[in-house]
Each structure stands twice: as C-alpha cells, then as structure tokens.
A and B are shown apart, each in its own frame.
Chain A
Amino acid sequence: MNWLKPSWQSVLAILLCLIAFALGAMTKPEAAALAEPAATLAYPYMGAKGLIIGLLLIAALVSMVKLTPIVEAIVLFVGAHAAAWLLIKGIAGFEGTALAPYFLLLAAAWLLAWRCVALLSWLRPSGSVARNALRLIIPAIFGAWILIIWEAVTRGAGIPFILLPPPSAIGARIANSLPILGSDVRQTIFKAVLIGYIVGNLAGFTVAILADRVPFLRRGLLPIGNMVSALPIIGVAPIMVMWFGFDWPSKAAVVIIMTFFPMLVNTVAGLAASGHMERDLMRTYASGYWPTLLKLRLPAAMPFIFNALKINSTLALIGAIVAEFFGTPVVGMGFRISTEVGRMNIDMVWAEIAVAALAGSVFYGVVALIERAVTFWHPSVRGG
C-alpha cells in the first residue's frame, strides 16, 4: 500500500461526493422533474452533475496516489476549479433553488483546493522565480476561493441582492461604471487622501523635530497632540466642511488631523531610539545638534517613521471617505457610497468598497516597499 498516500481533505471530499450522489436531486427543479418523470422539465445539471462528481472523485483519488507534489497540486487545482466553475455556471437562471448536494459538492471542491494550497505551501523550490511565483499563487488561490464560495452560496441559496450581491455582479458593476469610479478615485484619493497624507505627515514630522529641539514645545505640545488624536472624526469632519468648503480641501484637512498625531508620536519615539553609546560617540566627535540628527538620530528613527507612514496610509483613506459623508460636490467615494446606499444600489457600494480596498492595498504596498529599501539594515528587514 505504499503507493497510497491519503489526506483527510481528499477522503472527506470523496465522502461528501458520495453523500451528494446518494441524496439525489441537486436543485428543486430537478426534484420536481424526478417526481414527474412524464413531464419534460428543464433543470440545471442535466448532464453536468455526473461530470462534477466524476471530476471531484478522480481528482481526490489521483491526489492520494504517491505522485510528485507538483503533479498532485496541478490535478487538485484543475479538478477543484473545473468542478466549481461547472457548479456556478449551472445554477445560472435557477438561483435560490439549490438543495443540499449542491453545497456538499461545493464543500468537496473547496476541500480539494485546500489540499492543493497545503501542498503548494509545503513546496520549497530552489529557483527564485519559482519561489516568487509560489508566493503569488498561494494567496491568489486562497482569495479566489473566498470569491468562489461567496458567488456559489449567494446564487445557490438565493441571498437577496440587497443583503449581499454575488461578486460577479460587483465585477460587472465595476466594469460598467469605470468613468464614475475613476472620477471618484481622482477626487477622493488623488486630491483629499494624497495631499492630506503628505501635508499631515510632513507637519507631524516637523513638529516632532521642533519638539525635540525646543524643550518647552516637548512639554507643552505633546499632551495637546494627544488630545488632537482623541478628536472624533465624525465630529471634526462637518466642522472642516464649514471651514474649508464642500470640495476636497475639507477632506484633506480631516486627513491631516488624522495623520498628524501618529507621525508626531512615532518620530518623537524614533528620535529617542538611538543608543547611548552611539550618542556618546557623536559627542566625542564634538558633533553639533544637526549633524547628530542627520547622521545618527534620523536614520535610527526610520523604522518608527515608516511605521507611522504605514498606519497613516490606511487612516488617510478612512478619514477621506468618512469625511465625504458630511457634504461634498457630487463626486467622491464617500459621497457615492452614502448616496448609492440610499438608492439601494448595493452593487455600486460594493464596487466602491472593492476600489477602496485595492487602492488602500496598493498605497500600503508602495510605502512598505520604500520602507524595505530605506531600512534594509534593520534586523526585521535583513532577517537576523
């Protein structure tokens, strides 16, 4: 039996397939057709049912034969995704009619995908290209299955569109409203978020240096800065709208208020992070305040400063979107979300959420990449 290598995912998947087969009808129309064999009723999965079960069973069985992990992973990948695709395709036009076997088969396909990801994450390829590809493939499969299950469950169970639209509908909405989404991104991200982020971080940084240089500022300003960070954004946003008008400057102002304090606190902490020995060293060179700041204390503070930049990249996006709830011209991501919710266009809301998530991830990723380049020397980056 040494050619056999069972995994619990595959065994469970086979079991689920067998139960699904035994339970019979996949959907209510099929059950109706079975009850009245005389009538010719159209029902989903007329031919595909056997194909799905067969695909899953073959993939599960092959995966238990001792093969190289990469072949096994490919078999599982193809089997799981082909089955999922057939499942989702077949339910079209019959939304909300799925019975237990539909969900059992979905679960079986998901288990095989799980096994596939587990195998891939065991792989230790030697080539750097393969390693990088794996680093992308594993989270991609993982993310794809969130969407697959979301799609299959919302369609199979017929979840009302208002509660949770299937991702395909959100994708279609994004594709159809690119101009609107584009102008919203321009208004919210390229104006309010970016300008507010840059000004807020620069202000926090400058004040931190000032507070470091001037003792009375350190003692007087830091507690006040603490208070600024505690201001509720919901309260501040309408006031900023009154002060700076409906357009993006009021949103940028909210972002400035939100990003200022994390940068201030982190920079102050970072400036204190250089060691005693290093500071004594600079003293033995009779180095003045500014050379010491530039050559020792700021480089040592960089991990802290980038921490603030990363925190602020997400805070800025939240701040700008929420601030738009309190009055904007008729463009902007926050504006769109608040009005489309009122018009029950939930797919548009989800489209904006998806765009915001994407933009936020890209923003964070760019900051994190710059961080790796700047603090290459830090043990957390160089790994050891």
Chain B
Amino acid sequence: MTEQPPAVVSASKLGLTFQTNDGPVQALSNVDLTIGKGEFVSFIGPSGCGKTTLLRVIADLEKATAGAISVNGMTPEQAREKRAYGYVFQAAALFPWRTIERNVALPLEIIGLSQVEQAERIKRTMELVNLSGFEKKYPWQLSGGMQQRASIARALAFDADLLLMDEPFGALDEIVRDHLNEQLLDLWARTNKTICFVTHSIPEAVYLSTRIVVMSPRPGRVTDIIESTLPRERPLDIRETPEFLAIAARVRDGLRAGHSYDD
C-alpha cells in the first residue's frame, strides 16, 4: 500500500476505567489503533478483554477516561450525532411490534426521510441481506439468523460508511454462521464500508478480516495486530488453506501470550 487512506477511527493511549462498587476496574488501557477506510477489522480476545467496550467507545455508548479517540476526524459524540455508523448488537434487538420492513425503516424515520426515499432504501437493504419477501413478517415469525440479517439491514439502511458489529453471530449455530459470514463478506465487497467486528471465534476473525486485533484482559489491552495476507475474494474453503491456518495459528499464539493461565 503506497498511500495511507484517511483514518476512519484513530485511537491513541485510549483508556477506560469503570467505577464499580468493588473499586475501579480498568476495562481498556493504552490502546493505540488506526482503522483506515474500507478495512475489515476484527477484535478478538477472551471475555473481559475490553473488545466490546472498545467498540462501544467508538460508538459513543461509553466515554473513554484517558487518551484520545476520533471517528471520521470528529469526537465519537459528534460522529454519533451525525449518524456516522451503523451498530449491530449481539442480539437482533428488533422491535416486536414492528414488521421487518418497519424495523428497517426505524432509523430512517428518526432521521426524517420521506416515505418514498424510505421505501427505496428498505427495498435496497432488504435485497442486500437477502430478506426480500419477508418485509411484512414480524420479527418473532423469523428464525434467529433471519432476525440478525434484518438487524444488519437496519444498520445499513441509513448508509453510514462505518459498520460496528458486536458478536453479531455469536448466538447462532455454526452452519447459519458460516452462511452469514459469506454473505457479510459479499456485502462488504459490494458496499465498500469500513467494518469493525467483535468476535471470539478465531476462524471467523481470520476468514472475515483484513486486520485482526488481538486483545487480552486485566487490563484490557491490544497485544497484537495481524495483517491478513488472504485475498479479498474468499470462498468458504479458503479456511482449509495453509495460509489461512498460518494466520489462525498466529492469532492463537497472540491470544495465548496475552492470557496468563498461571492465575
């Protein structure tokens, strides 16, 4: 890469300490990270390593207590006010009283788009996540995988360039998860969005990412950042190649190094 693309997220010396009843807990410490436009960055690590917290700081759902962070060159709060990102949660979090279509329309209604534009965007994003034909269904009439795809459609609907995903497929079975991973890569290739993806699955992280951020707990910190050498075009069976396995081994080593099993 000859020219560095402009940073979508850049953090330096980022830290976050929660004040709990048992005293302060350091969730993040000294995180330095730059995410360029169009990257697919995975955050991986054991529970309590702060990967979700980091994503929530980017999304301005938590406030950092040390260091600096900018999103699209703004503070996270300004970026949130400007609707700079779409966020996909661990669960679909669809509103049961709205049809799939109206759920996808939710952010559009809040932004205040016209009915015509809403309909056009709903149609486009429903096609993007392969849910056409399910517009009039209620969330509880769909399977877990379809619900999660609907929530991705909702995050895509208002066309933010940054997609933040917090273990979106964590609750789904492996077959559905493989399928959705494939679709997510396809969607990423077509929309050219920047994606930050939290996971605790090594194959998932390696399969999806251009860069893998390995984190470790107590205090939550970045222990390794691995550039993927895999091509952008990735069929599912790329996971059997030596190249893939080599990256996976490096991620595993990183996790092991950061995780002291002594205590």
Contacts and interface: CB of A to CB of B under 8 A. Distances in A.
A131 interface: no
A133 interface: no
B85 A295 contact: no
Most chain A CB atoms below 10 A, which of B80, B85, B90, B106: B106
A339 to B, nearest CB: 49
A281 B80 contact: no
A373 to B, nearest CB: 12
A275 B97 contact: no
Interface stretch (B107-115, B126-134, B225-233): B107-115
Given A275-B93, A277-B91, A280-B61, A295 B80 contact: no
A281 B97 contact: no
A377 B96 contact: yes
Given A275-B93, A277-B93, A286-B81, A295 B87 contact: no
Contact of A285 (B61, B83, B96, B140): B83
A291 interface: yes
A287 B112 CA distance: 11
Interface in B67-106: 80-83, 85-87, 89-91, 93, 95-97, 106
A295 B106 CA distance: 8
Nearest to A378: B96
A285 B107 contact: yes
B138 interface: yes
Nearest to B107: A285
Interface string A281-323: 1111111000100011001001000000000000000000000
Contacts of A384: 140
Contacts, number: 55
B81 A284 contact: no
Interface in A358-384: 375-379, 382, 384
A379 B82 CA distance: 36
B110 A283 contact: no
Most chain A CB atoms below 10 A, which of B90, B96, B111, B158: B96
Contacts of B95: 278, 295-296, 299
A287 B95 CA distance: 15
Contacts of A283: 60-61, 80
Interface size class of A (residues with CB under 8 A): 20 to 34
B123 to A, nearest CB: 20
B152 interface: no
B59 interface: yes
A296 B96 CA distance: 10
A295 B110 contact: yes
B87 A284 contact: yes
A281 B140 contact: no
Contact of B97 (A277, A285, A299, A379): A299
A290 to B, nearest CB: 11
Contact of A286 (B80, B89, B90): B80
Contacts of A295: 95, 106, 109-110
Most chain B CB atoms below 10 A, which of A275, A281, A291: A281
B111 A285 contact: yes
B141 to A, nearest CB: 9
Nearest to A283: B61
B93 A281 contact: yes
Contact of B93 (A278, A377, A379): A278
A291 B111 CA distance: 10
Nearest to A374: B97
B59 A284 contact: yes
Contact of B85 (A275, A280, A281, A284): A284
Given A275-B93, A283-B60, A285-B110, 20 more contacts: A277-B90, A281-B87, A282-B110, A283-B61, A284-B86, A284-B87, A285-B106, A285-B111, A286-B80, A286-B110, A291-B110, A295-B106, A295-B109, A299-B95, A299-B97, A302-B97, A376-B97, A377-B96, A377-B138, A384-B140
Interface of B: 59-61, 80-83, 85-87, 89-91, 93, 95-97, 106-107, 109-111, 138, 140, 158
Minimum-distance CB pairs A-B, first 4: A377-B96, A284-B87, A377-B97, A277-B93
28 contacts: A277-B90, A277-B91, A278-B93, A278-B95, A280-B87, A280-B89, A282-B110, A283-B61, A284-B59, A284-B61, A284-B80, A284-B87, A285-B83, A285-B110, A285-B111, A285-B158, A286-B83, A287-B110, A291-B109, A295-B95, A295-B109, A295-B110, A296-B95, A376-B97, A377-B96, A377-B97, A377-B138, A378-B96
